[in-house]
Structure 1
């Protein structure tokens, strides 16, 4: 198996951004920094683009060069320490693809997720049986170990919604999601019950775009907007069959936020959605 790169966490992106700003404020080029510090130019580029995590001594060398002292120095050193901490995700590093672990790393640090799904219940709201049915439908090239790792990782991710400072999730789904029998009728009934229950949680908002709403901007595909709070730009995540996309361009961020606003507007209200889920569940029980 090939060696993994560094997962571009929010903390690492913040540190990279600060290093770029500090070098610019010092009015120095990368070549000049390399000449003074002997830090390899390619390494410096990777540090400033969040493609690598600096060693402690390298960060100290750069902070000394840029004459950074006091609270800012302490903050940047703390960010480096926090970015190196291992989490439950380490358990799955060998089985899960790099792009998926990168997504989970971002998700762990997000404050708010805006998720539109046209075909599936959002992963954070899936029951174990529903998740197993979805993941087992993956292309045949996925190994058994990868399938099992994905199922366990998906269930672990759901803890974000129940922690002391929970992740806020705003999920909009197409009505088709409620009617597709993923895993069979019994699995779907349990999944509908869970949707009805979690939709009442204060940090979860669920809306359904009804069939009679006609064409809508989400018909082009599912996406997730990850929001990290003040000082950190949103990241757009789009899962694909052969590759996943992370969009960070300002134009893309604005476009997808606008699409999500339109989806919220055309979707049924959270209260009407809860009633819709209850009605579909009742029909399934009969």
Structure 2
């Protein structure tokens, strides 16, 4: 069984970006670096894309090549020491997919999250029973223990909206997510009531794109857009799909999704009207 690859963290991502920037400033290609240091092109690519945590001697060799001195050198080595810190990680999380554990890591350190979902209630706002029903439906071959791990991880994630410095969550859903009865009538009613309650938190904004809005940018699929407290950490887009999960950090990709979210926000019902619609749907469920 292949080894589980390094799960990216904010610090590992920042380290990789800084090493990539330093190489660019030095006007060196990866082939140039390989010729001068012996660090292979493939290894350098994996380091610069945050796929692996580099060894200290490798980073030292790169810093020597790029002519980096203190205090910048000390800052980069500090990033290296912190690169695999994952205080959120639980033992069973190691059995979850790489992309999901990476997402948990980024979400736990994000300042703000703009999330659009077309078919279900966003994970940070789900009840445990709704989450269980969603996961069972989406992963019909999963064992009960696997489902339990996914549910527990999802419930733990929700701590970000209630912590001392809570995540700013702006959640937009298609009306279809309100009207799809997941887990049966009681589960869905409880979910809609919790959704409205959580929407009253000062750091949570909830909107619904109504059916009458017609076609909209969210019809392309769900996505999450995260931004971080430190300006050195660029925004990040996460897209989950059957074809594989994607993390996008190119400025053009981030801007495209930010613009789509702005259009969705403009087309959606106000937060007050969205909450009213959710409560209305709850009363209609048998």
Q: TM > 0.5 between the two?
A: yes
Deviates more, 1:234-243 or 1:127-136: 234-243
RMSD (CA atoms):
2.2
Q: CA deviation at 1:7?
A: 1.8
SS at match of 2:95: coil
SS at match of 1:170: strand
Q: CA deviation at 1:58?
A: 2.5
Q: CA deviation at 1:49?
A: 2.3
Say if 1:114 and 1:224, in contact at 8 Å, map to a contact too. yes
Cα distance in 1 for partners of 2:38, 2:176 equals 59
C-alpha distance 258-30 of structure 1, shift in aligned 2 (>3 A): closer
Cα distance in 2 for partners of 1:118, 1:78 equals 41
Cα distance in 2 for partners of 1:67, 1:198 equals 51
Q: Which runs of 5+ in 2 are unaligned?
A: none
C-alpha distance 43-245 of structure 1, shift in aligned 2 (>3 A): closer
Cross-structure match for 2:250 = 249
C-alpha distance 246-72 of structure 1, shift in aligned 2 (>3 A): same
Q: Which runs of 5+ in 1 are unaligned?
A: none
Cα distance in 1 for partners of 2:259, 2:204 equals 20
Deviates more, 1:34-43 or 1:132-141: 34-43
| TM-score (norm. length: structure 2) | 0.90
C-alpha distance 214-46 of structure 1, shift in aligned 2 (>3 A): closer
Deviates more, 1:126-135 or 1:101-110: 101-110
Cross-structure match for 2:16 = 16
| TM-score (norm. length: structure 1) | 0.90
Cross-structure match for 1:265 = 266
Cross-structure match for 1:5 = 5
Cα distance in 1 for partners of 2:63, 2:110 equals 28
Cross-structure match for 1:213 = 213
Say if 1:95 and 1:145, in contact at 8 Å, map to a contact too. no
Cα distance in 2 for partners of 1:232, 1:88 equals 19
Say if 1:89 and 1:153, in contact at 8 Å, map to a contact too. no
Say if 1:161 and 1:203, in contact at 8 Å, map to a contact too. yes
SS at match of 2:140: coil
Cross-structure match for 1:115 = 115
Q: CA deviation at 1:41?
A: 4.1
Cross-structure match for 2:125 = 125
Cα distance in 2 for partners of 1:103, 1:133 equals 21
Q: List aligned pairs for 1:1-286, cutoff 5 A.
A: 1-229=1-229, 230-284=231-285
Q: CA deviation at 1:163?
A: 1.4
Cα distance in 2 for partners of 1:245, 1:49 equals 13
Say if 2:88 and 2:108, in contact at 8 Å, map to a contact too. no
Q: CA deviation at 1:90?
A: 4.5
The alignment covers a number of residue pairs equal to 285
